[in-house]
Structure 1
Amino acid sequence: MNWNIWIRQVHRWLSIAFTVTVIINFIAVAMGTHADWIGFLALPPLFLLLFSGLYLFTLPYAAKWRSGDAPG
């Protein structure tokens, strides 16, 4: 499997995990049983999403740089 495809797939699954943890956090707050650790559950997928998203964001620019297409 191509490295870029693998990162893209991991990014998609991380977004699902992040969404689930945010929903769990909202439910806990609505029920009044909010604890700090529930709020912190969303942070690990969020940081991993940050790094994988930045990698995916730079892919087109890196490909253009590697091919030698310079603006101008």
Structure 2
Amino acid sequence: MSSNLWIRQAHRWLSIVFTAAVIANFVAMGLGEPPPWVVYAPLPPLFLLLFSGLYMFALPYAARWRGSKA
């Protein structure tokens, strides 16, 4: 599998993990004061989503830039 496909697949799975962490956060808040690890659980996948999303956002621009230089 190429690196672009791998990053796209990882981005999809990270979005599922992030969504589950946010839902768990809301459920925990509904039951009372949640522990800090539940509150901060969505942050690691969110940062990974940020980096993979920025990478995928920049891909078309980088391809156009490389294509026009040649």
Q: Distance in 2 between matches of 1:14 and 1:60?
A: 22
Partner of 2:29: 29
Q: State yes or no: 1:60 paired with 2:60.
A: yes
Count of residue correspondences = 69
**Which ranges of structure 2 fall in alignment gaps of 5 or more residues?**
none
- What per-residue deviation string (whole Å, max 9, x for no partner) do you get for residues 14-40 of structure 1? 000000000000000011141221111
Partner of 1:47: 47
- TM-score normalised by the chain length of structure 2: 0.93
Partner of 2:9: 9
**Which ranges of structure 1 fall in alignment gaps of 5 or more residues?**
none
- What per-residue deviation string (whole Å, max 9, x for no partner) do you get for residues 20-70 of structure 1? 00000000001114122111100110010010000000000001001107x
- TM-score normalised by the chain length of structure 1: 0.91
Partner of 2:18: 18
After TM superposition, the structure 1 stretch with the greater mean CA deviation from structure 2, 53-62 or 31-40, is 31-40
Displaced runs of 4+ in structure 1, greater than 2 A?
Answer: none
- How high is the sequence identity, in percent, across the aligned residues? 61
